[in-house]
């Protein structure tokens, strides 16, 4: 049975008030600390479940409203596209008339609510990469990117007195060694 949200929040407030002093000093207290962490993890999962159940009806309503909005806009989008197509047809006809009359075409028309224009676009290219690469390689259009093989370099070196030193005892320039503390990891099973 799912508890009401108010009860869950009240229970969490009570838990915060009952904080006790606890220190890990031996294997038994370490096991107890891990048991408590597992308990808190399960409580967090339980709270997440409650949150999801409380939010679900609202998400359904939001989705329903979005779908209604899309459906309501559909008519306006279609009419807008119709008028855009009419304007495009008009400007293309005007440019054609100007070209036919031997004039340099004006490809922009200013109107009360903005302007319409025809703009030249760059061509699109579809490429067969294998054929293109063969051609480029034969004709000198291939670029080679050089970069450090960090994994291989690091494998051949050692850290000595906070510096990276290669197998010949030479300090590797451009590398700063920053020692880090061991990272704590907790796994619950």
Q: Domain coordinates of the chain in residue numbers?
A: 123-177
Using the predicted structure, report yes or no on whether residue 58 has a pLDDT greater than 60.
Answer: yes
How many beta carbons lie within 10 A of that of residue 189, not counting itself? 4
**If you average pLDDT over residues 37-62, what whole number do you get?**
94
Report the pLDDT value the prediction gives residue 90, as an integer from 0 to 100.
93
Of the pLDDT bands very low, low, confident and very high (cuts 50, 70, 90), residue 14 is low
The structure tokens listed for 126 are 């579809």
- CA 106 to each of CA 45, 70, 86, 101: distance values in angstroms, whole numbers, following the listed order: 66, 38, 18, 12
**If you average pLDDT over residues 106-132, what whole number do you get?**
91
Report the pLDDT value the prediction gives residue 15, as an integer from 0 to 100.
63
């Amino acid at each position: 049975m799912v508890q009401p949200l108010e009860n869950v929040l009240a229970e969490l407030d009570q838990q915060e008030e009952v904080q006790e002093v606890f220190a890990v000093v031996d294997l038994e207290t370490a096991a107890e600390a891990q048991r408590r962490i597992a308990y808190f993890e399960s409580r967090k999962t339980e709270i997440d479940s409650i949150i999801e159940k409380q939010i679900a009806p609202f998400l359904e309503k939001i989705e329903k409203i979005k779908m209604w909005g899309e459906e309501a806009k559909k008519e306006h989008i279609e009419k807008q596209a119709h008028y855009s197509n009419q304007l495009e047809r008009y400007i293309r006809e005007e440019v054609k008339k100007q070209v036919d009359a031997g004039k340099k075409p004006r490809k922009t028309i200013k109107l009360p609510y903005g302007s319409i224009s025809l703009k030249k676009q760059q061509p699109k290219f579809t490429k067969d990469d294998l054929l293109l690469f063969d051609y480029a390689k034969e004709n000198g259009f291939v670029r080679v990117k050089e970069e450090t093989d960090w994994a291989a370099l690091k494998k051949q070196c050692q850290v000595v007195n906070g510096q990276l030193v290669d197998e010949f005892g030479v300090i590797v320039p451009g590398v700063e060694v920053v020692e880090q503390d061991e990272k704590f990891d907790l796994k619950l099973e």
